Chain A
Amino acid sequence: MGELIKIENLRHIYPGYDNQEVVALTDINLTINQGEFVAIIGTNGSGKSTLAKHLNALILPTGGKCLIAGIDTADNEKVWEIRQQIGMVFQNPDNQIVAAIVEEDVAFGPENLGVAPQEIARRVTEALALVNMEEYRHHGPHLLSGGQKQRVAIAGVLAMRPKCLVLDEPTAMLDPRGRKEVLDTVCRLNKEGITVVYITHFMEEAVTAHRVVVMEQGKIAMEGTPTEIFCQVERLKTMGLDVPVAAEIAAYLRKQGIQLSQDIISDEQLVVALCP
């Protein structure tokens, strides 16, 4: 399991209102290994999306470095190599679909990489199978549900054979059913070896990651396993973030003098602890 993403002292400044500089990211140090599933949480404006955009050179550091498999994203010659390794999926599925037929949409990425037609056909079949959308191969994407569209968008990225998927709030516009479809797909892909960086406001999604990174005002405020992070109920709430219901209730019960272990973050753990 080698290092796939290495971010060193990253700093990013946007030009803002009235020529004032807006510091979006500062002192970011983060290493993500091949095969990891990392969730990034934080309030709006905490720098999550800015950080994600550095991972495939959509934006470049103002200071510090962002290395993808050892390649500096600031190296203009290697931009396409980086973008092939890091696939991005954004919030709104409608903004990411480019073709009128699902299979053509999925083929768009590899076509641009100059992949041979037969190989493209193979990759499209494989990518659609990975997201369970084979039967929609010849459908128009506009007639799909939000969750299905998002899975097509993920297939489009997979067809480029990336090492890592970066998803920026992929479920924000979906209903609970669509959200589950997308999260299940991402978890399965991760089990098959792909590295996942998953930005979300839904804490119950973040709980499924190996590691959670909490952003606050352009910095990494906390980092650890979901259990380590979500048991810190008070701190997360002060930061304006949610915690899973079970963690919140466990914290209340502990305050009332009921003995409960610190690592309760899921319904099942809480129920078993109280009703053994």
Chain B
Amino acid sequence: MSINFDNVTYTYMPGTPYQRTAIQNINLVINKGEFVGIIGHTGSGKSTLVQHMNGLIVPTSGQVTIDGIDLKMKSQAARQIRRQVGMVFQYPEHQLFEETIYQDIAFGPKNLGLSEDQIETRIKRAMEFVGLNYDTFKDRSPFNLSGGQMRRVAIAGVIALEPDYLALDEPAAGLDPCGRDEIFGQIVQLHQQTGITVILVSHNMEDIARFASRVLVMNNGQISLDGLPQEIFNSGREKLQEAGVDVPPITALIDKFRVRGLAISNDVMTAEAAAKGIYQAVRGRTNAH
């Protein structure tokens, strides 16, 4: 059970003066249950890559399969499998359109042909999951909410499809730190509880470092690094720089200490762990004197 990219290339507007190859010869396997972070600067091909994952765009050459089924096909099986990949785009709240929150979240499940009862159950579950009280919010207009709440309604709409794979493109852009932690907390919880495969596209190195179990770095339409976050942020420095990507702020701080001769473990990805590491290093130095 996996998403497979087999030598995938995609060219925008081929045969015109604007022709541009967005991704090139991508070979990639994302296994079920993984939490994959994708980073890279604007125009590196991240979004193009992700849009292949549910057949929104089909490769110019090569093949994308999910659980062995080619997404390009027009068969019933291909249609089914595309529905197993939920997509949360940037600023998903711009896609809200219904009169009530209930109806908006119901749109996807309705198209799956579920019964009213099943739809209601799914909406309750999805709303609870994103932290919106069902009775308080179900009949309200999605347009009278704060930005963070609208974002949650939009994500609930995708979650209600109960996909096996969930791809999110900058889900926390424009949210305050609290809103960001909430959204990511919920995604991590969903990942742990249901084993859903998560593909997270973000500019925010800190978020990727904290949550992903595997990191892909995109540069010039290719995957320039693929590995564990610690590996990428520590030994992949040069390639990261080439890709125009910064290391997380904590890694940058620890580097500055190392330059000054204070050695702190490489593996820390959170401020708390860094604080402890620095404390121990400082204490260790004092004791040695």
Interface residues of A (CB under 8 A from B): 16-17, 42-45, 91-92, 145-147, 169, 172-178, 201, 204, 240-242, 245-246, 248-249, 252-253, 256, 258, 267-268, 270-271, 274-275
14 pairs, CB–CB < 8 Å, chain A vs chain B: A42-B176, A43-B178, A44-B178, A147-B42, A176-B203, A176-B245, A176-B246, A178-B42, A249-B271, A252-B279, A258-B282, A271-B253, A275-B260, A275-B262
**Are B43's CB and A145's CB within 8 A?**
yes
**Are A274's CB and B282's CB within 8 A?**
yes
Instruction: Sort A-B residue pairs by CB-CB distance and give the 6 closest, nearest first.
Output: A240-B178, A275-B260, A252-B275, A43-B176, A242-B177, A172-B174
> In whole angstroms, how far apart are the Cα atoms of A91 and B147 in the complex?
13
**Are B253's CB and A267's CB within 8 A?**
yes
> In whole angstroms, how far apart are the Cα atoms of A17 and B142 in the complex?
11
> In whole angstroms, how far apart are the Cα atoms of A52 and B141 in the complex?
26
Interface residues of B (CB under 8 A from A): 41-43, 90-91, 140-141, 144, 146-148, 173-179, 203, 205, 244-246, 249-250, 252-253, 256-257, 260-262, 271-272, 274-276, 278-279, 282
Known contacts being A44-B176, A253-B278, is A275 close to B271, with CB within 8 Å? no
**Are B253's CB and A270's CB within 8 A?**
yes
> In whole angstroms, how far apart are the Cα atoms of A169 and B175 in the complex?
10
Given contacts A43-B177, A249-B274, list 5 more A-B pairs with CB under 8 A: A17-B144, A45-B146, A252-B279, A275-B257, A275-B261
> In whole angstroms, how far apart are the Cα atoms of A178 and B170 in the complex?
15
**Are B278's CB and A44's CB within 8 A?**
no
> In whole angstroms, how far apart are the Cα atoms of A145 and B175 in the complex?
22
Q: How many A-B contacts at CB < 8 Å in the complex?
A: 100
- Specify which chain A residues have a CB less than 8 angstroms from the CB of B42 in the assembled complex: 145-147, 174-175, 177-178
Of B205, B244, B278, the contact of A177 (CB 8 Å cutoff): B244
- Specify which chain A residues have a CB less than 8 angstroms from the CB of B203 in the assembled complex: 174-176
> In whole angstroms, how far apart are the Cα atoms of A106 and B176 in the complex?
31
Chain B proximity of A153: nearest CB distance (Å): 16
> In whole angstroms, how far apart are the Cα atoms of A51 and B260 in the complex?
44
- Specify which chain B residues have a CB less than 8 angstroms from the CB of A241 in the assembled complex: 176-178
> In whole angstroms, how far apart are the Cα atoms of A271 and B43 in the complex?
35
Chain B proximity of A23: nearest CB distance (Å): 14
Of A173, A175, A242, A245, the contact of B274 (CB 8 Å cutoff): A245
Chain A proximity of B256: nearest CB distance (Å): 5
**Are A204's CB and B176's CB within 8 A?**
no
**Are A175's CB and B279's CB within 8 A?**
no
Known contacts being A44-B147, A241-B176, A245-B253, is A253 close to B271, with CB within 8 Å? no
- Measured CB to CB, the nearest residue on chain A to B147 is A44
Known contacts being A204-B249, A274-B262, is A44 close to B175, with CB within 8 Å? yes
**Are A274's CB and B257's CB within 8 A?**
yes
**Are B246's CB and A249's CB within 8 A?**
no
**Are A249's CB and B179's CB within 8 A?**
no
**Are A44's CB and B144's CB within 8 A?**
no
- Specify which chain A residues have a CB less than 8 angstroms from the CB of B249 in the assembled complex: 204, 245
Chain A proximity of B41: nearest CB distance (Å): 5
> In whole angstroms, how far apart are the Cα atoms of A165 and B167 in the complex?
37
- Specify which chain A residues have a CB less than 8 angstroms from the CB of B271 in the assembled complex: 245, 248-249
**Are A249's CB and B253's CB within 8 A?**
yes
- Specify which chain A residues have a CB less than 8 angstroms from the CB of B141 in the assembled complex: 17
- Specify which chain A residues have a CB less than 8 angstroms from the CB of B175 in the assembled complex: 44, 201
